[in-house]
Structure 1
Amino acid sequence: MAKSITDVAGRTYDEPRYKEGEAGSDLTPGELLVQTGTNADGEPIYDAVSTVDQLGPQAQFAMVPTTPPKRDVSDTDPIDQTISAGTLVQVRVFSRGETVQNALLAAGSDLTTAANANVSPGDRLGTNNDGSLKITTTGGAAVAVAREANDNSSAAAGDRARLTVEVL
């Protein structure tokens, strides 16, 4: 599932914006996130977007952990390691025109229409209910456009792929 790069990164035009908070559930770097509340200390809680074709989500993605609690030291590629619920999650906010590498593309088996996981450059992408992206035709739901082709339509449930996208 991982590409050669081991982070969620991209081309930026301004100073990159970062946030951090508590993971409200287990997260994977590259998932599109939404703030779902605050914890007892007033810190934001982030979860993967859980709505199909959510209208107007902010382009903020979970990053590979770099600060305590540090990622595990197993042989698993850091971009594929789980950010456990209740731990620190680092979030990168992308602006219109910026490129996101290693965003997650939904598995066809997780979609009502598996073909929505077969993307070509220029396809408009919206949210799936697991923080991944898929082709959308719903007005106002597109958060990005695909910058590369990737056919994940026959993938098993939960087997998301990595994709480079440009934020709308």
Structure 2
Amino acid sequence: MSKSITDIAGRTYDEPRYKEGEAGSDLTPGEVLVQTGTNADDVPIYDAVSTVDQLGPEAQFARVPKTPPKRDVSDTDPIDQTISAGTLVEIRVFTRGETVQNALLASGSDLATASNANVSPGDRLGTNDDGSLKITTTGGAALAVAREANDNSGAAAGERARLSVEVL
């Protein structure tokens, strides 16, 4: 007897580890996202987390789109291209112990304490109000730990850096 088609290995688009919806605002791959509602067609709307040290955040990150429509015809690396509001956003949901490569680290200029953008391996990271990550000491706000060092404390406002993190 042959196996059921549900035994085929791999991930499908309807699994909880992959989501898609409408970008509620301009987004960048690597931002931590949260569902903020649904549109008239009942499609989820996602925006970057807008709360500093959001408690109990879900590890869902905007990813570089793999499906049409194509976004940008410039020479800019797709990971740095904007996902425009009102267009498709693809989301990857990570679970405890998984590594997120190219998450966004906040700019020190965007933080109340610039040193919270100077991370070392093992530092606990929570959300900034722009969907990026920063060092946190707030209980229940840690989303991930840094897997590499990166000092973005002296960066200009809005100049976020890429960082590999492990989800808690």
Do both proteins adopt the same fold according to a TM-score greater than 0.5, normalized to the shorter chain? yes
Alignment of 1:2-21 (within 5 A): 17-21=17-21
Q: Identical aligned pairs, as a percentage?
A: 87
| Residue 53 (structure 1) aligns with | 53
1:161 Cα deviation after fit = 0.0
CA deviation profile, 1:77-99 (whole Å, cap 9, x unmatched): 00000000000000000000000
| Residue 141 (structure 1) aligns with | 141
SS of the aligned residue for 1:109 comes to: helix
Rounded Cα–Cα distance in structure 2 between residues aligned with 1:29 and 1:20: 13
SS of the aligned residue for 2:115 comes to: helix
Rounded Cα–Cα distance in structure 2 between residues aligned with 1:70 and 1:96: 32
Equivalent position amino acid for 1:91 in 2: I
Dislocated runs of 4+, deviation >4 Å: none
Rounded Cα–Cα distance in structure 1 between residues aligned with 2:153 and 2:37: 33
State whether structure 2 residue 26 is matched by structure 1 residue 26: yes
What is the aligned residue count?
A: 155
CA deviation profile, 1:98-120 (whole Å, cap 9, x unmatched): 00000000000000000000000
TM-score scaled to structure 2, two decimals? Answer: 0.90
SS of the aligned residue for 2:137 comes to: coil
Structure number, greater radius of gyration: 2
| Residue 152 (structure 2) aligns with | 152
Unaligned residue ranges in structure 2 (runs of 5+): 1-9
SS of the aligned residue for 1:112 comes to: coil
Rounded Cα–Cα distance in structure 2 between residues aligned with 1:46 and 1:166: 22
Higher relative contact order (Cα pairs below 8 Å, separated by 6+ residues): 1
Unaligned residue ranges in structure 1 (runs of 5+): 1-13
